Amino acid sequence: MALIEQIEKENLPKHIAITMDGNGRWAEKKGKFRVFGHQNGVKAVRGTVETAAEIGIKYLTLYAFSTENWNRSEREVNALMSLLISTINKETKTLMKNDIRLLAIGNLQQLPKKCLKELEEAIEKTKNNKRMTLILALSYSGRWEIVNAVNKILKEKNSKKELTEETFQQYLNTKSVPDPELLIRTSGEKRISNFLLWQIAYCELYFTDTLWPDFRKEDLINAIIDYQKRERRFGKS
């Protein structure tokens, strides 16, 4: 039986989040600059988005640039921003063709103007697409998102009303998105690294040694099959 046929269609995670790690190590292993790893990482992004949509995943969140990533060398940050601009620009057509809606989460005002403009245009163009939602986490960190939510609440006049988990959720960047059921991290690192801290409360974690530029269709399918073998109890017995 082909690997993809082993996926139970009725038990798909609705939302998959991915920490795309290992671009730098992938490049260094080949004796190349880190940027070469990011360029090849984009190819893995393209393949993963296509496969996720084909399988029937409704939401896919990719950790593309963390708040901490601003501390990398100027050369690497600039290269990543240029790559983002050119990828969003080039791929908007593909998103339209595949009926994929683009969203972004994070402190987007920190992005270079050109990057923000490309992003906003792509979000606007794809806003009515229905097959899958692709969410890019950019200049994002979970703690930033939570503090940002609290600050928004503090600014509201009626902030004395008691909050519930549901109302707090409405102040997060992901308010219109269901929590992920599966978080994948590549490159063998077993950490959360400030990603979707609120949203992963009940999420299944999947770690693979594969470096992000080597992440292929089979790797995504294997992660989903592994997830489907788990018993999700949400704290019940």
- What gap in Å lies between CA 5 and CA 184, rounded to an integer? 21
Residue 24 is a binding residue for ligand FPP (CB under 6 A): yes
Within 10 A of 38 (CB to CB), how many other CB atoms are there?
23
State the catalytic residues: 21, 69
CB of 128 to ligand FPP, least distance (A): 21
Residue 24 or 180 having the CB closest to ligand FPP: 24
Start-to-end CA span in the chain (Å): 34
Residue 69 is a binding residue for ligand FPP (CB under 6 A): yes
CB of 46 to ligand FPP, least distance (A): 9
CB of 79 to ligand FPP, least distance (A): 10
Residue 219 is a binding residue for ligand FPP (CB under 6 A): no
Residue 25 or 131 having the CB closest to ligand FPP: 25
Residue 106 is a binding residue for ligand FPP (CB under 6 A): no
- What gap in Å lies between CA 92 and CA 99, rounded to an integer? 10
> How does strand 132-140 pair with strand 59-66?
parallel
Positions in the binding site for ligand FPP (CB under 6 A): 20-25, 34, 38, 41-42, 45, 62, 64, 69, 83-84, 87, 136, 187
